[in-house]
Amino acid sequence: MHALRGVDLQIAEGSYVAIMGPSGSGKSTMLNILGCLDRPTEGQYFLGGDDVAQMEDDILSNVRGKRIGFIFQSYNLIPQLTVIENIQVPLIYQSYDLKEYMGRAIELARMVGLEERLDHRPNQLSGGQQQRVAIARSLINDPLMILADEPTGNLDSKTGLEVLDLIDKLNADGKTIVLVTHDPKVGDRAQRVIHMKDGKIDRDITNR
């Protein structure tokens, strides 16, 4: 039993792709492989020109840190850190000097509208604000691709829209976005929607 089978997919730089499908369709596995959290048992995965499919754990960690920005459904901020520290977490693991990148971190916080709350902790923020911190965090290392896993799943529709607008803006600025959702309204925002079923790509629709 394989969660994914015979998937052949190419995502162009700068595109906005939504992956949709019922639970058990393999979209989570797809996301894990795209995010270099999991390795395919067979096949190849080229990310920015390198085959990362069978890389070692340590190198994969580096690839994740440098080339991929994650946005999760439940935000996944680190509770003991402040907003600005949360944004800086990926820098630590790339051995970057936090002081040198402080300006960039603050700029990202401003972009997501949280420059007033740099010293707040996640439990002092609303869900929408937390998700915006997560977006800023995903951008700090200037990744090739942003992977968003149900980014609006825990948000009410109004804040959800705000977050989606922010993601649209990132795409408009040239970032590659891959977004997993089961909400057709969310999927409609993408240029391209991939429907998955039983571990295979069922339909691949390009909007507009």
Partner 1 sequence: MNQYQLISTIKLGVKSLMLHKLRSILTMLGIIFGVCSVIAMLAIGEGAAYEAQEDIKKLGSNNIILRSVKPPEDANNQNNSRGGFAISYGLTFADSSRILASIPGVNRVLPKRIIRENARFSSNYVPVQVIGTYPFYPEMSGAEVIAGRFLSVPDERFKQNVCVLSSGLAQQLFPYQNPLEHAIKVGENYYRVVGVLREKNMADQRPQSGKMEGEPLDNNIYMPLSTATTRFGKTIVRRTSGSMQAETVELHEITIQMLEDDAVLTADQQIRWMLKNKHEKMDYEMIVPLQLLMQARKTQQMFNIVLGSIAAISLIVGGIGIMNIMLATVTERTREIGVRRALGAKRRDITTQFLVETVVLSIGGGVIGVLVGITVPFFVTYFADMKTIVTFWSVLVAFGISGFIGILFGIYPANRAASLDPIDALRHE
| Binding interface with partner 1 (CB under 8 A) | 32, 35, 37-38, 57-58, 61-62, 64-66, 70, 72, 76, 78-81, 89-90, 92-95, 97-98, 137, 141
**Identity of the residue, 94 or 157, whose beta carbon is nearer to partner 1 in the bound complex:** 94
**Identity of the residue, 45 or 72, whose beta carbon is nearer to partner 1 in the bound complex:** 72
Q: Are 34 and 10 in contact (CB under 8 A)?
A: no
What's the min distance (Å) between Cβ of 120 and partner 1? 15
Which one, of 79, 98, 99, lies nearest residue 90 by Cα?
Answer: 98
Q: What are phi and psi of 70, to 5 degrees?
A: -100, 135
What's the min distance (Å) between Cβ of 190 and partner 1? 22
Task: Determine which helix (DSSP H) or strand (DSSP E) holds 203, and give its type and residue range.
Answer: strand 200-206
**Identity of the residue, 129 or 189, whose beta carbon is nearer to partner 1 in the bound complex:** 129
What's the min distance (Å) between Cβ of 99 and partner 1? 9
Which positions ≥6 away from 27 have C-beta within 8 Å? 19, 20, 21, 180, 196
Number of residues that this document lists for the chain: 208
Task: Determine which helix (DSSP H) or strand (DSSP E) holds 93, and give its type and residue range.
Answer: helix 83-93
Q: Which two tokens stand for residue 110?
A: 């401003």
**Identity of the residue, 21 or 90, whose beta carbon is nearer to partner 1 in the bound complex:** 90
What's the min distance (Å) between Cβ of 40 and partner 1? 13
**Identity of the residue, 53 or 161, whose beta carbon is nearer to partner 1 in the bound complex:** 53
What's the min distance (Å) between Cβ of 126 and partner 1? 19
